[in-house]
């Protein structure tokens, strides 16, 4: 899992981001997003988010931006495959398509996707507080994960 993903997820959770209304929908200040992105690009090992000047919305914005700017999408699941998948009613058929698509990912991509989905499940579990339902999260992350 890329260090930027790990650091951002951990910090969003430690800063109470799971309870923040609009986490991943509300953007941080653009100048702070640009600055934090630049720090990660310079040397992600040196980026210190503990007691940092960056708020939770800035850190969340940088995570989404990182995923959007990957050379290749995190999850290469073409639109026509997703449309076919969404029309299937049989659970086993849906599971089979998803498993096939996931099996085509590298181990690093699978690990990153798992870390992200685990985190987003925690966000959704607090949707009564943060208003980030599965629908809202999918609206925020589909472009970042699939490069739509």
What pLDDT was estimated at residue 45?
95
**Domains (range + CATH), the chain:** 3-146 (1.10.555.10)
What pLDDT was estimated at residue 78?
83
Q: What is the pTM of this model?
A: 0.92
- Listing DSSP states for the chain in one string gives --HHHHHHHHHHHHTTGGGSTTTTTS---HHHHHHHHHHHHHHGGG---TT-S--HHHHHHHHHHHHHHSSS-SS---HHHHHHHHH---HHHHHHHHHHHHHTS-HHHHHHHHHHHHHHHHHHHTHHHH---HHHHHHHHHHHHH--
pLDDT tens string 52-62 = 789 999 999 99
The stretches in the chain having pLDDT less than 50 are: none
């Amino acid at each position: 899992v890329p260090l930027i993903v790990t650091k951002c997820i951990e910090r969003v959770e430690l800063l109470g981001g799971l309870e923040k209304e609009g986490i991943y929908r509300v953007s941080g200040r653009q100048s702070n997003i640009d600055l934090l992105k630049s720090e990660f690009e310079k040397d992600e090992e040196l980026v210190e988010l503990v007691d940092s000047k960056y708020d939770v919305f800035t850190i969340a914005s940088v995570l989404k931006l990182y995923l959007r700017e990957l050379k290749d999408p995190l999850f290469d699941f073409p639109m026509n495959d997703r449309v076919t998948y969404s029309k299937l009613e049989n659970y086993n058929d849906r599971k089979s398509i998803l498993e096939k698509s996931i099996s085509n990912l590298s181990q690093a991509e699978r690990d990153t996707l798992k870390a992200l989905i685990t985190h987003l499940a925690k966000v959704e579990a607090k949707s009564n507080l943060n208003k980030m339902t599965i629908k809202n999260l999918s609206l925020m992350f589909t472009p970042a994960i699939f490069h739509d």
